[in-house]
Structure 1
Amino acid sequence: MKNFIKNLGPGILVSAAFIGPGTVTVCSIAGVNFGYSLLWALLVSIFACIVLQEMSARLGLISGKGLSDCIRDEMKNPAIRIFTLFLIFSAIVIGNAAYEAGNISGAVLGIEAVFDSNSFQLGAFDFNIWSLIIGSIAFILLLLGSYKKLEKVFIVLVLLMSIAFLLTAVLTGPDLIDIFNGFVPGNFDAGLLTIIALVGTTVVPYNLFLHASLVSEKWKGSKQLGMVRKELIFSLFLGGLVSMAIVVCAAASNIDKIEDAADLAIGLEPLFGSSATVFLAIGLLAAGITSSITAPLAAAYVVKGCLGWKGGMNSKKFKLVWMSIIILGVMFSSLGIKPVEIIQFAQIANGLVLPIIATFLFWVVNQKTVLGKYRNSLLQNIIGFVVIALAVFLGAKSIFNVIQNF
């Protein structure tokens, strides 16, 4: 057990990354609008997350490189390589900019639960003061390179919030039969965008890149594969349990819609009473800042791998990428759109980007030149194909529905 706890790391960070403002918001919206009926979608999302993150972790451990580096090295045709890397580059940069806006908006949602909203007009943008402050904090921490120390504090706060939701879910005394019925797949059309958002908030595309890099730095050699898998399954299962608890809390809260943190906090009242809003505000702020640091950092690593840049976090080109993501995130979060809507949009965008990234991951973990005997087995390929096919189906159905509405 001591050895297992000592080796907790990459999986916990991946789990902490998806238990952010997006997860709290999207899972709460799912619970309020559809009760327990979308629990099956979360279960599928968690399974898909474990399958894809295991591929990513195995790739990082055996190859000792990141996902984008492996893709660049394995694409032999120059034209195909350029097109592929451009596609990944675009998907991650655009997706992470949207995700960054959701992270910043989530942190702002927490602050505005306690303090008043403040903004000023600058051209077409109505900048929220709190958005600028959160963006500046992320900017300074990344610039100084001291974010790792504070990240531990933020992760602890997010974990405390997670424990709170688990305890509250028990205290609400939900009907167990209704919960079990929620794991039976229902009508896809009833909450298609919510289903995609649930997938997007659980299987975060940039985590597939981050996980490979984190594992390659923490462990060396195939002998650690068993430990990598155990740590991954434990961490993601725990994260999935928290997501389900949030749905249960929201479904039992008896509210009609969610527009701000006060609405989200109602789900925690059985445990914290009148202090629920303050507690949730701290959790959202911590989750938002943590994610607003990791999202631009991940984008910078992806671009670095795609373009084959040398040097680490201190290189000017590397810094320019994460700076751009933070600036875009602040701008997107200042468009006058409600924070809850921005967060939900970010998760939907993630759900649509996922099939592209998952397909390239699936391809590279089947390359003998990269993983040798540790490449995907027939069973892993079948399961992986089903997961990717489901992601493609949800994304295509969403686009088709949008086109129909024009």
Structure 2
Amino acid sequence: MAEETERLGEDVDPRPAADQQQTRRWRLVGPGIVVAATAVGAGDLVATLIAGSRFGYALLWAVVLGVAVKIALAEATGRWHLATGSTIFVGWRSLGAWTSVYFAVYVAIWGFVYGATAMTSSALPLAALFPVLPLEAWAILSGLVGLAFVWFGNYRVFEKVMTALIGVMFVIVVGLAVLVVPDLGATLSGLVPRLPEGSAVYTLGLVGGVGGTITMAAYGYWVNAKGWRDASWMRVMRLDNRVAYITTGVFVVAMLIVGADLLYRSGITLTEGDRGLLDLDEILRDRFGRVVSTLFLVGFWATSFSSLLGVWQGVSLLFTDFVRTRREARGQLSEGPAERSLPYRGYVLWLTFPPMVLVFLGQPFAIVVAYGALGAFFMPFLALTLVWLLNSSRTPEQWRNGWLSNGLLVAAALLFVVLCVNELVGLGS
């Protein structure tokens, strides 16, 4: 505790020591905000809007359940890093070489396709706001700005920018939800679990989509980059994680409110995919005027670009650890900060330049199938390996899973297996 207090700061304050420590913990919140801002992208907003437009508030309970599941997943990832002093990739390698084979294939294909998706998603609102350049040009500029930012930046600046972006997202989307004047009674009724006809897939998507991507595995690396490297930071990490996902939950609930009150009652449907947010822009312009629609496009951009930055930085850290762990297993020591290493910069380049081909040509069917099939397996892989690692002797006894953590992680694994099967069925149809 003395070490934790020293790390939390040395400012003199007349309030009791416990009060000072709690206040400083709040000031330290950051890595959770980063992972939440990265994981919630434009596609999640569209999925939530469509669920609201089709089923009103009936699936609100699924959003709340999704927040609980993601808190458990992120907490388990952070707990592994802090309790063991090693990274999640070291844990995966201890489970067998199969984890490295899967990760290598997955991260190569996923990064290639996601790079194009992220650049295009960031470009859509920019092309609508500033039509002086075509969509493809805005996409390439977005990728290059992201590349420069993570190439020359550091974690401290990265966290501040990500916090600012999620602040913009939060204020605009929650403000929009207030603007549509939600029905409070109907909203609260959505907390009662029920499944309207035809809602099963949307329900699973809402539970699984509240900030759930490969970047959840990057949370432990951002925890370490913050300077939290041992179990003395466990309480701070847990506070950080809860604040982040509760904030994300409020954000997603606000989008559901917009879908339920603005679209469901009017019988309006949106285009599937990120372009559905451009449909909403036109609806907002007709109902509330250009100022509101412009602010929404700014929020759309903040949502998309924060995901781009988070992946460019976080997944590159994962890839760097993958390479370094393999080298260290062969007796080759790695030196210097990860953010300045060749593997880190190499993967950032992989995310930026090869996907530009897809920006111009579209996404070839074979690549999309492979991406979807591999991507659908990642979250079950993460949940099940965390159950394995955190119930074994690899984890100090006091930090192993309790019944609640095990229950939520197993539930998450089952949920994502069902979503995985649904994804594969959809790809095969």
TM-score (structure 1 length as normaliser): 0.83
Equivalent residue of 1:202, what SS?
A: coil
Partner of 1:124: none
Partner of 2:420: 395
CA distance in 1, matches of 2:68, 2:163: 23
349, 353, 357: which is aligned to 1:323? 349
In structure 1, give the amino acid aligned to 2:388: W
Q: Paired residue for 2:254?
A: 245
Q: Aligned ranges for residues 2-401 of structure 1 at < 5 Å?
A: 2-72=23-93, 74-75=94-95, 81-116=96-131, 118-119=133-134, 128-145=136-153, 149=157, 152-183=160-191, 184-186=193-195, 189-190=198-199, 192=201, 194-195=202-203, 197-199=205-207, 201-217=209-225, 218-254=227-263, 255-258=268-271, 259-265=275-281, 273-307=289-323, 308=325, 309=327, 310-311=334-335, 312-336=338-362, 352-400=377-425
SS of residue in 1 equivalent to 2:119: helix
- Secondary structure of the structure 2 residue equivalent to 1:387: helix
- What percentage of aligned pairs have identical amino acids? 21
Alpha carbons 2:147, 2:312 under 8 Å: kept: no
1:241 offset after TM fit, Å?
1.0
Q: For residues 208 and 114 of structure 1, do their structure 2 counterparts lie closer, same or farther at Cα, with a shift above 3 Å needed? A: closer
Q: In the TM superposition, what is the alpha-carbon distance from 1:54 to its structure 2 partner?
A: 0.8
In structure 2, how many angstroms separate the alpha carbons of the residues matched to 1:151 and 1:268?
Answer: 31
Question: Structure 2: which 5+ residue stretches go unaligned?
Answer: 1-21, 328-333
1:172-208: CA deviation from partner (whole Å, max 9, x where unpaired): 222234323434231585362x445545542433233
What is the CA-CA distance between 1:270 and the residue it aligns to? 11
Give the 3-state SS of the residue equivalent to 2:303 in structure 1.
Answer: helix
**Do the aligned partners of 2:34 and 2:159 also contact (CA within 8 Å) in 1?**
no
Which whole-Å deviations, capped at 9, do the CAs of 1:42-87 have from their partners, x for residues lacking one? Answer: 2222111011111011111112222112222x23xxxxx2222111
AA aligned to 2:104 is F
RMSD value, Cα: 3.2
Q: 1:145 to 1:388 in 2, by over 3 A?
A: same
Structure 2 contact 284–292 (Cα < 8 Å) conserved:
yes
1:244 shift after superposition: 0.9
Q: Confirm or deny: 8 A CA contact 2:218 2:315 kept in the other structure.
A: no
In 2, the alpha carbon distance for the partners of 1:329 and 1:228 equals 35
**In 1, Cα distance between equivalents of 2:307 and 2:187:** 30
1:348 Cα deviation from its structure 2 partner: 9.8
Partner Cα distance (2:205, 2:371) in 1: 8
Q: d(CA) in 1 for partners of 2:107 and 2:57? A: 32
The amino acid across from 2:149 in the alignment is L
What are the Cα deviations for residues 274-331 of structure 1, in whole angstroms up to 9, with x where unaligned? Answer: 2123212222333333321221332222222233152422222321122112234434
Which digits, 9 at most, give the CA deviation of each residue in 1:240-279, with x for residues without a partner?
1111101111222233224454423367669974212321
Between the two proteins, the alignment pairs up a number of residues equal to: 385
Superposition deviation, residue 149 in structure 1: 2.9
**Matches of 2:427 and 2:158, distance apart in 1:** 41
Flag the structure with larger Rg: 2
Q: Give the conservation status (yes or no) of the 8 Å contact 1:50–1:233.
A: yes
Q: Which runs of 5+ in 1 are unaligned?
A: 76-80, 120-126, 338-342
Q: In the alignment, residue 152 of structure 1 is paired with which amino acid?
A: K
CA distance in 2, matches of 1:214, 1:271: 41
* One-letter amino acid of the structure 2 residue matched with residue 362 of structure 1: V
Distance 2:107 2:362 in 1: 24
